[in-house]
Amino acid sequence: MARPSSSSSSMAILALAFLVIFTSSSSAQLSTNFYSKSCPKVFTAVKSVVQSAVSKERRMGASLVRLFFHDCFVKGCDGSILLEDTSSFTGEQTAGPNNNSVRGFNVVAKIKSQVEKVCPGIVSCADILAIAARDSTVILGGPNWNVKLGRRDSKTASLSAANSGVIPPPTSTLSNLINRFKNKGLSVKDMVALSGSHTIGQARCTSFRARIYNETNIDSSFAATRKKSCPFPGPSGNKAN
Ligand code: HEM
Ligand SMILES: *[C@@H]1O[C@H](CO)[C@@H](O)[C@H](O)[C@H]1NC(C)=O
Ligand SMILES: *[C@@H]1O[C@H](CO)[C@@H](O)[C@H](O)[C@H]1NC(C)=O
């Protein structure tokens, strides 16, 4: 009777091996059908909330795209930007590139609760951000793409990482921009294409006033147009498309 016992123990070893492989591989491939069995309704759930948020305020589509970018550039697309400060860490939300600037957290919370209704405990917030950014882009008339899924949510966030310059400031030189994207595996072409996302949304005058008033390597009629909506000296709260 040695056979059954040895085959059941090799089954156990096999099961253990799978367990080890699947729980220890943090670099597993993302896939477009990650939730096709566990949460096929995720796409309609996310889209309905994004649609209603963008109908209320078109800019929200832009804000959701940027939220995804700022999440991804700090330690990967792990939802860490969504984490509020706790007693054990100060998160990313008050970092220079984010404070009083990134928005859309309430919409993400609404999406999450809608997704939890259709499949509780399945979909990561990091994946929700990725889907919401795509849906926003499509709703505002941009390109469509299939979103690869399977990201895991971070349990921590880091203010210092978010402030370290990995999200390049608007005062960056071209070579800094190129390097910051290169560090994420993105080419110059990728960077230019992704920057096209600035055709939607708004920026605070404080983000670009110095450039339109003091720099010469900028299209002068564009600078003149921008100066109208961003007088100097002028109110600090102004924004421009
Ligand atoms: C290339 C380097 C980049 C720089 C230096 C940069 C800088 C900025 C700045 C300064 C603002 C205005 C923020 C404010 O005043 O509150 C802004 C807004 C925005 N950025 Fe970028 N950005 C970059 C790349 C990207 C990328 C890769 C994306 C997405 C693919 C993106 C999406 C957006 C969007 C959609 C807005 C408007 C957000 C809103 O209206 O809420 N940006 N960016
Ligand atoms: C973030 O913005 C708030 C509100 O304007 C401000 O009080 C705070 O000092 C800012 N935090 C940082 C780290 O800049
Ligand atoms: C332009 O540069 C001058 C001189 O450095 C400075 O005083 C002024 O504040 C700058 N203007 C803006 C809008 O940043």
Going by alpha carbons, the residue nearest to atom 9 of ligand 3 is 210
Of 173, 190, 223, the last residue of a domain is 173
Q: What is the CA radius of gyration of the chain?
A: 22
Q: Is residue 198 part of a domain?
A: no
Task: Give yes or no: residues 165 and 233 share one domain.
Answer: no
Q: How confident is the model at residue 27 (pLDDT cuts 50, 70, 90)?
A: low
Going by alpha carbons, the residue nearest to atom 17 of ligand 1 is 203
pLDDT of 163-190, one tens digit each?
A: 999 999 999 999 999 999 999 999 999 9
Q: Is residue 188 part of a domain?
A: no
Q: Is residue 196 part of a domain?
A: no
Task: Give yes or no: residues 18 and 61 share one domain.
Answer: yes
**CA diameter of the chain:** 90
pLDDT at 26: 52
Atom of ligand 3 nearest to the CA of 213: 13
pLDDT at 16: 43
pLDDT at 22: 43
> Ligand 1 mean position to 5 CA, how many Å?
61
Query: Among the options 66, 70, 134, 151, which is catalytic?
Result: 70
Q: Is residue 118 part of a domain?
A: yes
Task: Give yes or no: residues 142 and 226 share one domain.
Answer: no
Q: What's the CA gap between 39 and 50, in Å, rounded?
A: 18
Average per-residue pLDDT in the chain?
91
Q: Is residue 183 part of a domain?
A: no
pLDDT of 57-111, one tens digit each?
A: 999 999 999 999 999 999 999 999 999 999 999 999 999 999 999 999 999 999 9
pLDDT at 236: 79
Q: Is the pLDDT of residue 199 over 70?
A: yes
Pocket of ligand 1 contains residue 103 by CB under 6 Å: yes
Q: Is the pLDDT of residue 144 over 70?
A: yes
Task: Give yes or no: residues 29 and 90 share one domain.
Answer: yes
Pocket of ligand 1 contains residue 139 by CB under 6 Å: no
Task: Give yes or no: residues 107 and 59 share one domain.
Answer: yes
Q: Is the pLDDT of residue 7 over 50?
A: no
Q: Which of 195, 204, 208 to mutate to test the pocket of ligand 1 (most atoms within 8 A of CB)?
A: 195
Q: Are 33 and 43 in contact (CB under 8 A)?
A: no
Task: Give yes or no: residues 122 and 231 share one domain.
Answer: no
> Ligand 3 mean position to 211 CA, how many Å?
9
pTM: 0.90
Q: Is the pLDDT of residue 13 over 60?
A: no
Which domain range does residue 134 map to? 4-173
Atom of ligand 2 nearest to the CA of 100: 2
Q: Which residues are annotated as a binding site for heme b?
A: 198
Q: Is the pLDDT of residue 25 over 60?
A: no
Q: What is the mean pLDDT of residues 189-207?
A: 97
Handedness of CA 62, 54, 80, 28 (dihedral sign): negative
Ligand nearest to C-alpha 210: 3
Task: Give yes or no: residues 95 and 9 share one domain.
Answer: yes
pLDDT at 18: 42
How many domains does one find in the chain? 2
pLDDT of 210-240, one tens digit each?
A: 999 999 999 999 999 999 999 999 987 899 9
Task: Give yes or no: residues 31 and 99 share one domain.
Answer: yes
Q: Is residue 54 part of a domain?
A: yes
Atom of ligand 2 nearest to the CA of 95: 13
Quick check: is 70 catalytic?
Answer: yes
Task: Give yes or no: residues 138 and 42 share one domain.
Answer: yes
Going by alpha carbons, the residue nearest to atom 1 of ligand 1 is 195
> Ligand 1 mean position to 66 CA, how many Å?
6
Pocket of ligand 1 contains residue 204 by CB under 6 Å: yes
